[in-house]
């Protein structure tokens, strides 16, 4: 199968596309790929590292307020459609899939206009503008959250697939996760992550919470600050405690996150869709602190889905304090039955075969041409 992938801006749009490619390869080693991304997005760096052929187009997103920048965006979109058509005609894909971000707009639209079967994958509980626009043109809309199919009333076909990142973590080696952290096997681990770049509000809460961790010495706390905040956060914690206790581990970044997740008992994190797919696939209980700095406040909607199912506790950033965070963690980690219940609820939301379901749909569409 010949597949064009598109998705960009953030890892949350890129890694699901990569997961689909890897599933295609696993099922058909002769699969061929072309990834079309933006010149300005993270995909221009990440995709070549995944050894996927990459082509770039220049595209920006629409501003929600009236702006002259939107006129430039329209012009870039039209030019992007022309460029995408040339790339598609040259590559001759069987199917095109977009996994989010404004770069998908011209790529998937061009595919639809050329009569090439196409799929968009919506990761969030609330769809983005690009996917709302594309939903009326594509062959299939795939959604991550069961029950969100109704968000695309003009689509020809909508299916619940889950997020393909859920498939990626299924093969993660738990033992390597403990080894990465330098923690004995089967230890209780609370992982606190503010996203790939870190989050100041979560950092501040962790600094404030650190003195309270003396009460939970049997639990290993792993705090991932983000490169930017690492030195200052570690120094602030040290100034409060004198030195870092053995059960508190402060790290700038984790490169093998799936393996560390496999070793995690409880996670504190934002509520990005790809990360939620990973933790529900593994059945990890969570304390979610949705980012308030995202379109349509969609992380709150994502987090509430897990909270409603009993898989997570949600703390809004405006309500976040070190005391509140500590109490939420303590409530879960000191109550084994609650941990097990949250874990089971989390796993019930997981869709570990997500990538396989999407590839099956891609194959169905390509065979129907």
For the annotated binding site for UDP-N-acetyl-alpha-D-glucosamine, the residues are 10-12, 124, 196, 254, 299
DSSP bridge pairs for 98:
6, 120
What b/e string do you get for 184-194 counting C-beta neighbours within 10 Å, with b at 16 or more?
A: eeeebbbbbbb
Question: Sheet holding 54-57: strands in order across?
Answer: 54-57, 32-38, 2-6, 95-98, 118-122, 140-143, 158-160
Distance in angstroms (rounded) separating the CA atoms of residues 333 and 165: 26
CA dihedral 205, 208, 210, 215 (to 10 degrees): -110
Distance in angstroms (rounded) separating the CA atoms of residues 17 and 14: 5
Residue 232 makes CB contacts below 8 A (sequence gap 6+) with: none
- C-alpha torsion sign, points 99, 105, 109, 111: negative
Give the 3-state secondary structure percentages of the chain, helix then strand then coil, rounded to 5. Answer: 50, 15, 35
What b/e string do you get for 79-103 counting C-beta neighbours within 10 Å, with b at 16 or more?
A: ebbebbbebbeebebbbbbbbbbbb
Residue 22's SS3 state is helix
Query: Within 13 Å, how many C-alpha atoms sit on residue 265's CB side?
Result: 22
Distance in angstroms (rounded) separating the CA atoms of residues 124 and 118: 19
Q: 193, 289 in Cβ contact below 8 A? A: no
Instruction: Detail the residues annotated as belonging to a binding site.
Output: 10-12, 124, 196, 254, 299
Q: Which of 166, 29, 95 is nearest to 359 (CA)?
A: 95
Tokens of 41: 């997005």
Q: Helix and strand tally (H, E) in the chain?
A: 15, 13
């Amino acid at each position: 199968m010949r597949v064009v992938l598109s998705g960009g801006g953030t890892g949350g749009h890129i890694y699901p596309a990569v997961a689909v490619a890897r599933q295609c390869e696993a099922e058909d080693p002769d699969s061929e790929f072309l990834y079309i991304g933006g010149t300005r997005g993270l995909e221009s760096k990440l995709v070549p590292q995944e050894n996927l052929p990459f082509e770039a187009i220049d595209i920006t997103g629409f501003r929600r307020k009236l702006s002259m920048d939107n006129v430039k965006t329209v012009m870039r979109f039209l030019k992007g459609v022309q460029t995408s058509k040339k790339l598609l005609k040259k590559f001759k894909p069987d199917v095109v899939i977009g996994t989010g971000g404004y770069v998908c707009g011209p790529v998937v639209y061009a595919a639809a206009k050329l009569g090439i079967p196409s799929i968009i994958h919506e990761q969030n509980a609330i769809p983005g503008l690009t996917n709302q626009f594309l939903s009326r043109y594509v062959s299939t809309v795939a959604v991550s959250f069961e029950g969100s199919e109704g968000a695309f009333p003009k689509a020809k076909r909508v299916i619940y697939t889950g997020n393909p990142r859920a498939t990626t973590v299924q093969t993660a080696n738990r033992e390597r996760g403990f080894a990465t952290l330098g923690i004995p096997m089967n230890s209780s681990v609370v992982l606190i992550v503010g996203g790939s770049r870190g989050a100041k509000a979560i950092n501040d809460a962790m600094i404030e919470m650190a003195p309270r961790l003396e009460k939970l010495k049997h639990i290993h706390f792993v705090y991932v600050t983000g490169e930017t905040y690492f030195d200052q956060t570690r120094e602030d914690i040290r100034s409060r405690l004198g030195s870092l206790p053995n059960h508190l581990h402060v790290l700038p970044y984790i490169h093998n996150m799936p393996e560390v997740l496999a070793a995690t008992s409880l996670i504190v994190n934002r509520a990005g869709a790809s990360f939620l797919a990973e933790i529900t696939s593994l059945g990890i209980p969570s304390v979610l602190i949705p980012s308030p700095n995202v379109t349509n406040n969609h992380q709150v909607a994502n987090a509430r889905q897990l909270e409603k199912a009993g898989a997570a506790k949600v703390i809004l950033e405006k309500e976040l304090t070190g005391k509140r965070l500590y109490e939420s963690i303590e409530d879960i980690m000191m109550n084994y039955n609650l941990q097990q219940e949250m874990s089971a609820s989390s796993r019930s939301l997981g869709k570990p075969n997500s990538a396989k379901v999407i590839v099956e749909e891609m194959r169905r569409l390509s065979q129907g041409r």
